[in-house]
């Protein structure tokens, strides 16, 4: 054997070992399960699971618009293509009727289907892995109690090479490590409960943590805000930065937003309004407050997205002020202080001061309502202004509110408004 052949053999062997190691890391299971659900009567376990399904917002991805509950079919757009929420009713042929509690645990905890195939991370098992076995068993009991629906699952429509499921092993090796979240003994029971809900069932990181080019959340920048792919909405930081995050909020403010969709500082809009409507309004008062307590313990880390550096000309500020006086001041007040919770303040509002202006632009373009919740069944709405204001008008208006009353968020260009208007018509 020549020297060159020996070198090639060594390189090939090293490559095989590396690929094998990567595949093993990406397909490994976490053997620990933790305690199963405490023995209880079936109705108690089912009711517990029903509450957990609401807390985890299972309906959002597993119930299509106008479709049967939990029968799947919801399109979930990603930068790599579209996946569809599967049928998780107890139908034997198209749902999870033949799944055992262990199979269900494997999906949540290890990100694998009943047959061992790797699940796409649009299903947030990267967060659900922290869910306890007891809660997984309760969720399973609840799903077994719902009406079975015969509805075949729609296969994902992904671009090449993302449609090659075995390649998920490499992604998982880099970005996924299964494991139940352990309680922090140095923190209170309330804090630990809030952390469990935020980092596990609530999977808040799925929207509020930035992602890399391969779609993985950046673990080095937790909850520092991020643009929601394809939907073109910005999920603000949950850290305690005073300008862009929750620094001005109290734990009670956060709990109020989760339960009612409104607070003294802002109101839920866009995708977050849907989360409040379908999920967080159903939290117990204790759980909503626990989330607030945990979020308020996060550091004052600045937003991951750089702040806009677009300067605003004095003339643009003056024109923006006039538009604001004509169209906005009656509800939001002359100094942006708002009026109770019906019309939120714009001064210090994280939707306004976010590094990305897209949410504020889209609210002006399309208007909107806070979600109708049990605590606020008839929310006040904001009319759309996209038909009466052109792109330049909206750019000056949003620039004005982002740079008045103590807000220091940078200017907005007419091109950004044009892009937001186009995205609004697509979503």
Counting beta carbons within 10 angstroms of the beta carbon of residue 164, is it exposed (0 to 12), middle (13 to 18) or buried (19 or more)? exposed
Distance, CA of 164 to CA of 149 (rounded, Å): 29
Distance, CA of 50 to CA of 27 (rounded, Å): 30
Distance, CA of 363 to CA of 266 (rounded, Å): 12
Report how far apart, in Å, the C-alpha atoms of 93 and of each of 90, 148, 153 are: 9, 10, 10
Collapsing DSSP states into helix, strand and coil, what is residue 190? helix
Residue 203 in marked binding region: no
Residue 207 in marked binding region: yes
Q: Structure tokens of 386?
A: 């996209």
Residue 208 in marked binding region: yes
Q: What are phi and psi of 162, to 5 degrees?
A: -70, -15
Distance, CA of 185 to CA of 180 (rounded, Å): 15
- Per the rule left: phi > 0, alpha: psi between -120 and 50, beta: everything else, 67 is beta
Residues 6 or more apart whose CB falls under 8 angstroms from that of 393 comprise 323
Q: Structure tokens of 235?
A: 């999920």
Minimal CA–CA distance to 268: which of 369, 343, 360, 383? 369
- Per the rule left: phi > 0, alpha: psi between -120 and 50, beta: everything else, 230 is left
Residues 6 or more apart whose CB falls under 8 angstroms from that of 40 comprise 48
Report how far apart, in Å, the C-alpha atoms of 194 and of each of 85, 277, 325, 381 are: 27, 20, 41, 31
CB distance 351 to 363 below 8 Å? yes
Provide the 8-state DSSP code for 90: S
Residue 265 in marked binding region: no
| Cα-Cα-Cα-Cα dihedral sign, residues 112, 74, 236, 427 | positive
Residue 109 in marked binding region: no
Residue 204 in marked binding region: yes
Q: What are phi and psi of 234, to 5 degrees?
A: -110, 125
Annotated binding site: 58, 61-62, 204, 207-208, 328, 331-332
Annotated binding site for heme c: 58, 61-62, 204, 207-208, 328, 331-332
């Amino acid at each position: 054997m020549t020297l060159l052949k020996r070198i090639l053999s060594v390189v090939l062997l090293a490559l095989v070992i590396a690929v094998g190691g990567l595949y093993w890391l990406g397909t490994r299971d976490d053997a620990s399960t933790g305690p199963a659900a405490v023995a209880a009567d079936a109705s108690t376990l089912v009711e517990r699971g029903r509450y957990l399904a609401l807390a985890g917002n299972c309906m959002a991805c597993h119930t299509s618009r106008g479709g049967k509950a939990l029968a799947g079919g919801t399109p979930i757009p990603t930068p790599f293509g579209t996946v569809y929420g599967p049928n998780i009713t107890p139908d034997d042929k198209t749902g999870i009727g033949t799944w055992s509690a262990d199979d269900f645990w494997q999906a949540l905890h290890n990100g694998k289907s009943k047959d061992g195939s790797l699940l796409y991370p649009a299903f947030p098992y990267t967060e659900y892995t922290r869910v306890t076995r007891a809660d997984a068993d309760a969720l399973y009991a609840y799903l077994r109690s719902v009406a079975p629906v015969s509805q075949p699952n729609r296969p994902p429509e992904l671009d090449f090479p993302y449609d090659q499921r075995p390649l998920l092993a490499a992604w998982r090796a880099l970005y996924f490590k299964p494991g139940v979240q352990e309680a922090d003994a140095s923190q209170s029971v309330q804090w630990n409960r809030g952390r469990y809900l935020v980092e596990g069932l609530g999977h808040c990181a799925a929207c509020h943590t930035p992602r890399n080019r391969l779609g993985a959340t950046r673990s080095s920048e937790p909850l520092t805000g991020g643009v929601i792919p394809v939907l073109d909405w910005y999920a603000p930081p949950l850290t305690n930065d005073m300008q862009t995050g929750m620094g001005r909020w109290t734990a009670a403010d956060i709990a109020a937003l989760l339960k009612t969709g409104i607070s003294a500082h802002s109101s839920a809009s866009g995708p977050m309004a849907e989360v409040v409507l379908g999920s967080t309004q159903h939290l117990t008062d204790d759980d909503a407050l626990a989330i607030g307590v945990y979020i308020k313990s996060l550091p004052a880390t600045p937003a991951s997205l750089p702040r806009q550096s677009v300067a605003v000309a004095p003339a643009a500020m003056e024109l923006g002020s006039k538009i604001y006086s004509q169209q906005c001041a009656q509800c939001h007040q002359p100094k942006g202080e708002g009026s109770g919770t019906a019309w939120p303040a714009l001064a210090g509002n994280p939707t306004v001061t976010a590094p990305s202006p897209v949410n504020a632009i889209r609210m002006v373009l399309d208007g909107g309502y806070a979600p109708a919740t049990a605590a606020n069944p008839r929310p006040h709405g904001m009319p759309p202004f996209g038909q009466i204001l052109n792109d330049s008008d909206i750019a000056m208006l949003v620039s004005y509110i982002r740079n008045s009353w103590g807000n220091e968020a940078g200017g907005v260009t007419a091109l950004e408004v044009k892009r937001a208007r186009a995205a609004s018509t697509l979503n």
